[in-house]
Every structure is written in structure tokens, then in C-alpha cells.
Structure 1
């Protein structure tokens, strides 16, 4: 399905045009028909030959009167394609300019221009002015069509042009997280609460559970689209969801229904704004069908921090509109960080702007900015999760930037040394390092720090001579075959009895994978490098062959790689490297 939103000045023929294309009047309210103008969002649909089956096209007809701009933006916000309508018998009008500015702010790049009422005036001047205006926006180069809704002239050309425009739009991923912006809520006797909206991406199915921004959940009891019951719908699509008789009051126009645990409601967000004029301190933010008041704090270099009156499920890269209801100026907003750090000391705003200016949108930049962050948070705010930069630390759900990990390891050595001979408990080390989870401390442990019995100590400055000699012999044994762990007989010849192995393991000088299976400390990193050459995912047999070792060694080594976050074991017992 394709969804197209109308745009343009009041009484320029948007609803007439939709009615001519679909055979359905989008003005559904008695007052709209009486006054001859759209007040609420209107909906109609048709099937266009020339599109892949089923060729369904839904139209969201927005009001053109300046008093209803907020309603118009609620209809345009989630829709990726626009039809800008201008009348041949009128000059270029303020609402056409305002709607076009909104489309440009949202970076809508697919659409067309329709000059209506060609039977009432020469359409050439209106067409030339519209072309000059749109070519300064994200719709530059959009095709233009001249029609008469009254006589039907040009409608076939309009349909053909619309088919060409729609064919250029790539379908969004059907497996994306759902974020349905609600634009209507009403009650149907015998069914319950019904909400409608434009589904930009993802798939909704009967029986699915969706979440509102306040944490309440609803279950989809039925789906209707274009007047037909459906079992499931994928975006882009117009959908009506039956939520039963007990839908929370929080589900209303301007709210979003989302995949549970896939978004983080944002109350403070850093954005880049584009547009002319001074941004006021208290404008409003339009995103999807939402309209919320915001408090603006300039950061510098076109970057701003917005504090929202009501939280919204935002993601990095979202496009929104910041509007001043007084001056009617508006700015395009690009969401840069829906979970920004607090601003404290003097000069923090300017330093934050510099960080945002240097941010290149990669995972490495996210880690560099945040230092320590949960992978699950990055996913919820739409940040990239790969590739993991060299030197980054993985500890369960936590990711640590390479620079931060190196600094924390140095701080850990200093803290353990300061603790003296008795060592330092892991929980106390987490407090000293000011990290949010003791699991991070465990992942930071590396020579000369060793962990034993829940306490961290420094490896002894001197080892027993027998242990030192055994270690040198082990290094020689593994020099050419780093994954050929010595057998029991070879361990005896090398002088590696159980006590000596324990001493060297505590000192971080060898890697004990299992009883009687030992390698050098860098074996895990070297194994990950070797496994990167394999097609992903890979089998245990393929891993054993590329490592040049036996199953006796390969199995515990792969288990160690799983436990340390280097590899991920899949349900079919294959593995792949993380990142």
C-alpha cells in the first residue's frame, strides 16, 4: 500500500481532487460539508492500475485553513509522499507556502504538484510559481500536473504521474519496530475503542501487544485497512486497530503505539534545527501526529536542547517540526540524541555542541560520546549497534568505549594497589571507579590485576622459579601452534602440574579453559581474529580446522569466546562473531 497526504491552501480543491481520484468524499463531518472546507483529517482510497498488485493507494486529506495547521501537520507527519495542490485561479497563497515549508522541514522528497481549476484560469502562471517555490525545497524536481476536478481534464495524466512517483518509493522494512502515530480515537458499539493512524514501517497483526508512552499496553483485537478486515498489515499503510473496550485514556491523538521495550520515552532531546529567524524559548514540537510544548536551550552551531512537556518515543534521525504559533515560523528538526547527558558546569552547552558537530553517526562515535552505555539503550534510541570498534569492552549488555576502557583499567590497577595486600572487593572497585555495574569491573580485570574469591589483587611481583621456567617452556610449545594445548603427558614434561597452573592462572599469565586445557592469555583474541576469516555463522568443525586444534581444545575455547562476548552461539549450535 502507498499513503499520500494532500497539502495546500484552503479552498484550492484538495478534497475535490481526492474525491475525483477515489470516488469517495474525504470530508466526513456535517460541518465540513456545510462550510465547504476541511476541518478534520479526511481519508479515502483507490486502486491504481500500473502499481504492483493490489495497487492500493490511501489519501490523507488535510485541512488547508491556517486555524487548522496543527491538524494538517498531524496528517502529514507520518506520511512519506505528498501531493501539493494549488489553484490556477488564485495567486500563491500563505497556507501553500506554510505547508510546503513543513514538507521541506520533514525532508519529504517524494511527491507531485497538482494545479487545479484549469477550466477557470490559465494554469501557466500558477504552475510557474509553484515550480519556483518547490525547487527550493526537498521536493525539488517533483513532477507537476494540470487538472480540472470539475471537468475531469488531466485526471488520467495525474493517475499515470502518481503511479510513476509511487513506483520510485522503496517499501520500508516489514520487520522494523512498530511506531503507529494515532490520529483518531473513537468508540464502536460492540467492538470497543478503535484508533486509526498511518503505519510508517513494521508489521501489526491481530493478537499483537503494543505499548503506549506511559507504559500501559493494549492488545490488537482486530485490524481494518481501506474498509477491509485484515489479519496483519505492514507499513506504509493506513490502519484502524480495534483495541477492545478497555483501552487506556493515554491512547489518543498525538500518542504512539509501539513495539514493547523497543523505544525509550524521551523528555529531553538534542536536535539540529534548520530555518530562518530566532528560535523562541517556548515553541511547539510536531512529530508524527504529536504536538507537544517544548522549552528550548541553545547549545551553539544550530544545535539545541529541547525539554518536552510530555515524553515521546523518539529515535536518532527522526524528522520533526519546531513551530512558533505566534509568528507562524517553523524550523526543521533532526533528532540527534533522545537520551543526552545532563549539562552541568559553565560552558557545558558549547562543549556539547562541539560533540554533536563531530558525531559521525557510527557506533564508535556513540561510545566515544557516552563512555559507558547499555547496548539495549542504544537499540531503543535507534543508534547503530555495529561495527564494534577495536578495543571496546563488552560486558553483558554493557559497552565501554576503547578510550574509557583503557582509562578504567589504569584506574583499577591504582585502586587495587592502594588497597594493599588484602585486595579490593569487586563491589568496592565498582564504587571507586564510578561504574554502574560490578560486571564491568569483572570485565576490566587484566594483568597485573587478578580476581580470586571475589577480591581483586595484584599478581605477585615474583613467581616461584619453577613456575617461571614452566611458563617459558609453555610459550615455546605454543609458539608455532598457539591453539595446540598440551596434553596431560606434555603438561608433565613442561612442569605444569595443578598447583603451578593455578599460580600462573591467578597471575593472568596463562588461560585455563578447562581442567588440563591451558593456552597463553592472548589466545582468545587471536582465535577471534582467525574466526573472522570464516563465513558467518560457522560450525564447531570449521572453527576447529581454522584454529588447527582438536575438539578437546576447540569446545572450551569457543565456550570462553561466548562467555566473554566475542562470539554468539545460535540455536542451531553454530556461532558468529559479535559486531
Structure 2
């Protein structure tokens, strides 16, 4: 399906032209037909050879209904712009054109209606001059008459060319449906309508409303009941569940795929001179009053009265209700940092000047420094696996600059800790993450560089065997004590004489300089291998007493030593309490 919105001044024949193209009256309300003008959005559709189904969103042209017009144009990428041959270039036509230009709509056909009542040539020249310099410049202009049918075949051909050149939306994209109408049908319940720009909605789907979810009970498009529909399409959804938010948020989205935000940093398109403090923001099918805070030049911050699911690159309109001036809006950051200090606005503007407004992985990560992949998806980054100078760790992505800074911070923090605590070498990843301001220990592990290494969840210097001088002297003395009998562990008194308290023993064991079998029982680090060599000479299996005699030690030492050998899978304990060397 293709969707085309109409635009143009009131009473220039938009609805009559849609009726002539489709055979359906888009004015649904009795009041519209009585007054001869569109008040609410109207819809009609037809099938065009070479294009298939084409739905028309007929918008009101009267100045009182400009917000309704913008609700119809906002989600639609193609426009049928209507001017009358027997009238001048009118204010609402100018306002509609300014809005379309601000939204950067580039796919359009211009129809000069009532060409049977006046020579269309002057109107063609006027509209071409007005389009010059706008996003609609160069659009084909076709004189038509809805009453006689003159020019309609040519217009249909131009519409086929128009819709077939609109980029095809991704049917697998996240759903974001701006609701332009909500009503209740007896026996069915709540029904909402809107233009689905991309993605797919199917019966049974759940869609988010901002604070809750609804379930899709039924899907219709162009008056037909279907199981699913993909954008671009006009859809009507029968929904159940938490529908109360729809009046306020006016949007249905794929759950968890968007971040609903109340503050956005944007770039304005148009002459930025004096901005109103409380302009109207028109986005999707929504119109709401926002607060505007200038940052610098064409960069401003908008504060919304309610959360909306906006992404980087989204286009919208800001409108001054007083002067009727409009500006295009391109969302640069839907999750901006707070501005809490003097000069923060200018600093923020400097950070945003280089932002293109097209979401990409490197740009978003550079600006945010550290961000989780869910947030990147929610703000609209299309390819989370794209190559680039970023550091990935678990569900986190970090900029190259922040990674370099973090690597230095980890090195400095660890050096300071080791100097202050020479017997407690290294720090856990979780502790380091907190000290250097990273949200995950995975990120710390990702930036560890030589001469550091990660061992058992701790970061420590590669030269872990370097110990304080007094401890080295104590270990050398202990090695001399055990040289004659390597399994005669020193007594508690001897350890105390050597200055080997529990902390120093733990440090030496962590550095691989002692074998700690139990509290207060230590041997040299190669004692287990030497014990296996000695026990291999015994008849297998052997008893604990035989092991004690062979090693020349006491039960105080041999019991924890044998348990250590069992744990190290150097020996195996049998059911009768004897052992064999493996």
C-alpha cells in the first residue's frame, strides 16, 4: 500500500479531487458536508495500475484546523498539493508549504484544480515560483478538473510515479503508530486509526502506550479485515487492555523499543530569530505546547508536557501560534543530560554542533561515553554491530576516548592501592568499577592493559611475586628452616618469630611463595609436588600413617597436606581411608 496526504488552502477542491480519484467522499461528518470544508482527517483509497492500493489522507485547509492538517501530514512521506486555478496563492497554502518544507517532505505532486473555470497557466507559474527553494522544488504540476475529469489520467500517472519512488519501509522495523483517531464500537471496544510508517502489526501483538500495554484484537486496512499489515499503510486496530493512556500519549509502540522522553535537544530548520517561550510542537499526529530553551544559534532544548517515544533523527515542527511562523525540528538527542550550572547551555551547544542528526553507533557512543545497548536501540541506532572505535563489554558500549581514560584510571588506582596495602595486592573488578566510575566490572576487564592482568576476578600487577623486603627476608629464613625437612611445618611460635602473621602469610600465598594448607600450617610452594614424588615410592594404596612416616612429619601437617593433594587431584582417597597417587 501507498499513502498520500493532501495539502492546500481551504475550498481549493482537495476533497473533491480525492473523491474524483477514488469514488469515495473523504468528508465523513455531516457538518463537513453541510459546511463544504474538511474539519477532521478524512480517508479514501483506490487502486492505481502500476502502484496498487493508494490511500489518501484528506486534511483540512482552514486556518482553524491547522493542527489537524499537521496531524495528517506528519507521518506521511508523500503529498498531493492542491491549488485552485481560479484563486490567488492563499495564506493556508503558504502555511502548508512552509510546514512541508520544514518537515523536508520531498515527494509531491501539485494539482491545479478547477482548470475548467479558469486558465490554469497563471496558477501553474505561481505555484512553481512558490515551490522554488523548498523541499518540494521541481515537483510535477498537473492541471485538473474534478468536475469534468480533465487531467485526471495524467494526475494518476504522476501519482504512480510519485508513490513508486518513495523508499520502501522496513517491515521488520520497530512499530511506532501515532494515533489520529480513537473511538468505540459496540461489541468490539476501542478502535484506533493511524498511518503505520514501518514495521508490522498483527493480531495478538502487544503494543506499548508509554506506561502500559494493549493487545491487538483485530486489524483492518482499507476496509478489509486482515491478520497483519506492514507499513506504509493506513490501519485501524481494535485494541484491549490499558487504553486510558492513549488519550494522553497518542502513540502505540513495540514494547521496550523506544525511550519515552520529556526533554529533547533539537536543531531548528528555518530563520531562527526570536523564538516563542511556549511554542506548539507538532510530531506524528500529536500537537502540544512545549517549553523552549535556546542553547545557541539553531540549537534549542524542548521540554514536553508528557513523555513521547522520540528518536535521533526524528523530524517535527515547532509553530508560533501568534505569528504562525513554523520551524522544522530535527531531534539530535532524545536523552540529553541536565543543564545545572552556568555556561552549561553553551557547552551543550558545542557538543551538539557536530551531530548530524542521523543516528550512528560511533556518534552516539562518543557523545554518551558509556551506554548500554538497550538505550542505543531505543534512541534509534540502526546497527549495533557496526564497526568503529568503540569498546564492547557485555551489554555495554564505551567510546575509545573513555576507554583510554579508564585504562589510565585503573592503572593509577591500583598503583595507589598497592603502595598503601603492600600485602593486599590487586583489587576486585567490582571495586575498581566503582572507583573509576564505570557501571559494570565487564568494562574494567575490557580496559585492563599491561602491566596489569585479571586473575580470579581481581586486577593486579603482572609482577605479583614482588613482595616487601621484610617479607622476602622472612620467607628466605623459612626456606632455610625447611631445607632439611620440607614437610616439617613451622610452629605458631616460629611463624610469630619470623613476623609471618596471617596477613603476611596470605600475601605470600597469593603471590605463590608459600603453600598454605590450613590456618597456621604452611610449607614451601613446591611441597605438594615433592610429597607426590615421595609417596609414589610407597606400596599403593597407602595409609595416613604410612604417608606421615614417609614424609617425616606429624599428623598436624600430613592430614591437611593429604586433603590438599586430594583436591588437587594428585591423589585419590579410597572408601577405606587409604589413598593412591594418580
TM range (shorter): 0.7 to 0.9
- Which residue pairs with 2:31 in the alignment? 31
Moved more, 316-325 or 270-279: 270-279
Q: Does 1:248 align with 2:247?
A: no
- Which residue pairs with 1:412 in the alignment? 410
Q: How far 1:394 moved relative to its partner?
A: 1.4
Task: Spell out, residue by residue over 1:307-357, the C-alpha distance to the aligned partner (whole angstroms, 9 max, x if none).
Answer: 111111111111100111111111000111111222233222222222222
- Which residue pairs with 1:121 in the alignment? 118
8 Å contact kept, 1:210–1:217: yes
Q: How far 1:22 moved relative to its partner?
A: 0.8
Q: Does 1:323 align with 2:319?
A: yes
The 1:393/1:119 distance shift into structure 2, 3 A limit, reads same
CA distance in 2, matches of 1:254, 1:463: 63
The 1:32/1:43 distance shift into structure 2, 3 A limit, reads same
| Equivalent residues in 2 for 1:54-203, closer than 5 Å | 55-203=52-200
- Which residue pairs with 2:254 in the alignment? 259
- Which residue pairs with 1:400 in the alignment? 398
Q: How far 1:406 moved relative to its partner?
A: 1.1
- Which residue pairs with 1:47 in the alignment? 47
Q: How far 1:446 moved relative to its partner?
A: 3.2
Q: How far 1:463 moved relative to its partner?
A: 6.8
Structure with bigger gyration radius: 2
Q: 3-state DSSP class of the match of 1:460?
A: coil
| Equivalent residues in 2 for 1:359-398, closer than 5 Å | 359-360=355-356, 361=358, 362-384=360-382, 385-390=384-389, 392-398=390-396
- Structure 2 stretches lacking a partner, 5+ long: 468-510, 514-582
Q: 3-state DSSP class of the match of 2:246?
A: coil
Q: Does 1:442 align with 2:437?
A: no
Q: How far 1:454 moved relative to its partner?
A: 4.3
8 Å contact kept, 1:183–1:253: no
Q: How far 1:123 moved relative to its partner?
A: 1.3
CA RMSD of superposed structures (Å): 2.2
Q: Which 4+ runs in 1 deviate beyond 4 A?
A: 461-464
- Which residue pairs with 2:15 in the alignment? 15
Q: How far 1:368 moved relative to its partner?
A: 1.9
CA distance in 1, matches of 2:363, 2:36: 53
8 Å contact kept, 1:273–1:304: yes
CA distance in 2, matches of 1:247, 1:150: 47
Q: How far 1:295 moved relative to its partner?
A: 1.3
CA distance in 2, matches of 1:220, 1:185: 14
**TM-score where L is the length of structure 1:** 0.77
Q: 3-state DSSP class of the match of 1:243?
A: strand
CA distance in 2, matches of 1:323, 1:189: 38
CA distance in 2, matches of 1:381, 1:261: 11
CA distance in 2, matches of 1:84, 1:116: 10
CA distance in 1, matches of 2:115, 2:222: 30
8 Å contact kept, 1:183–1:254: no
Task: Spell out, residue by residue over 1:459-489, the C-alpha distance to the aligned partner (whole angstroms, 9 max, x if none).
Answer: 327679xxxxxxxxxxxxxxxxxxxxxxxxx
Moved more, 299-308 or 197-206: 299-308
CA distance in 2, matches of 1:2, 1:365: 33
Pairs aligned (count)? 464
Q: How far 1:165 moved relative to its partner?
A: 1.4
Q: How far 1:437 moved relative to its partner?
A: 2.5
8 Å contact kept, 1:183–1:252: no
- Structure 1 stretches lacking a partner, 5+ long: 465-501, 505-579
CA distance in 1, matches of 2:284, 2:17: 24
Q: Does 1:291 align with 2:287?
A: yes
- 1:280 aligned to which of 276, 280, 298: 276
- Which residue pairs with 1:213 in the alignment? 210
**TM-score where L is the length of structure 2:** 0.76
8 Å contact kept, 1:184–1:253: no
Q: Does 1:230 align with 2:226?
A: yes
CA distance in 2, matches of 1:231, 1:252: 26
8 Å contact kept, 2:249–2:307: no
